Amino acid sequence: MKALVFGMGLQGKAVVHDLEGSDIVTAVTVAELDVPQAEAWLARRGCRKTRVVALDAEAPGAVDRLVQAERPNVIVSMLPPGCPTRARATPGR
């Protein structure tokens, strides 16, 4: 199962920790503004399933493009309230 996580603040880190430890999760993509900080956190914890991609969730169409590119089985948004993380469903899914 592939997971896409929006945001890697305190709660986003907890989500990534749990996904990393899950036997059914094969890959985790984290969408984050501060890529170097997120990558450093992952490296310190030895995370092997997770990679970070840069994303400004407020940029028009950015969320939809990332969801279409990643084709995750599950999406978790840990962004603050009001951030536009609503993606249109991909046809045929």
Task: Enter the DSSP assignment of 12.
Answer: H
Query: Residues with Cβ < 8 Å from 67, sequence gap 6 or more?
Result: 4, 75, 87, 90
**59, 45 Cβ separation under 8 angstroms:** no
Q: Would residue 86 count as lying in a domain?
A: no
* CATH number of the domain within which 57 lies: 3.40.50.720
Total-model pTM: 0.88
Domain range for 32: 2-77
Using only the alpha carbons of the chain, give its radius of gyration. 13
- Is 16 a member of any domain? yes
93 occurs within a structural domain: no
Residue 59 lies in a domain: yes
Give the count of domains, the chain.
1
Q: What is the chain's pLDDT, residue by residue, as a tens digit (93 residues)?
A: 999 999 999 999 999 999 999 999 999 999 999 999 999 999 999 999 999 999 998 888 999 999 999 999 999 999 888 776 655 544 444
